[in-house]
Amino acid sequence: MGRIVYEPIGTIHTPFKTPEGVPIQSSGGKDIEGIAELHEEFQQGLSDLDGFSHVYLIYHFHLAEGYSLKVVPFMDSSERGVFATRAPRRPNSIGLSLVRVKAIDGNRLYFVGVDMVDGTPLLDIKPYVPGFEAYGDIRIGWLKRHIHKVKHFKADDRFRA
């Protein structure tokens, strides 16, 4: 298979101009508002989304340069395999956030649950459907000891190139 290329469908706007201080997961930014502004040609794709309370925003970590297969993730001091983390410096710099929809107006989706930097390129939006995603036998690996920190932990500069 050859090279895969995605074009942004819009831009995510948030109060954060740099990665430092950004909540590391959307649950940590549950009261912080953002806007996913789609390019005009994609506005019709927002039809019927107002019936969903939550959506996944899929985006490009545009400030991450390069990648490391081993990283020291937020909330831990041990080196971990990048695929066992949500660190932004990945072979494909794709981010995923589950956010709560507040409103949709024209080509703008207003949401809460910010954990991304202002100007982040938006790649896709998908509705969250608990019946599609619910599993009863979930394990969360090394994060089990640290999950209680997520709502208060903020990003620092550890993933800057």
The closest alpha carbon to 61, from 19, 110, 13, belongs to 19
* Cβ neighbour number for residue 135 with a 10 Å cutoff: 5
134 against 109, higher pLDDT: 109
Q: pLDDT value at position 11?
A: 98
Query: Could you write out the DSSP letters of every residue in 94-118?
Result: EEEEEEEEEEEETTEEEEE---S-T
End-to-end distance of the chain based on CA atoms, in angstroms? 29
Q: pLDDT value at position 144?
A: 74
What are the sequence ranges of the domains in the chain? 10-149
Flag whether pLDDT at 55 surpasses 80: yes
Query: How is residue 148 annotated by DSSP?
Result: G
One-letter amino acid for residue 143 of the chain? L
61-70, 97-106, 150-159: range with highest mean pLDDT: 97-106
Task: Tally DSSP H helices, then E strands, for the chain.
Answer: 1, 8
Q: pLDDT value at position 150?
A: 63
Domain 10-149 in this protein, CATH class:
mainly beta
Q: pLDDT value at position 28?
A: 81
* Cβ neighbour number for residue 29 with a 10 Å cutoff: 24
* Residue 116 CB-density burial (10 A; 0-12 exposed, 13-18 middle, 19+ buried): buried
Flag whether pLDDT at 159 surpasses 80: no
Residue given tokens 């740099």 in the structure block? 18
Q: pLDDT value at position 79?
A: 94
Mean pLDDT of the chain: 89
Q: pLDDT value at position 21?
A: 87
Task: Name the pTM for this structure.
Answer: 0.87
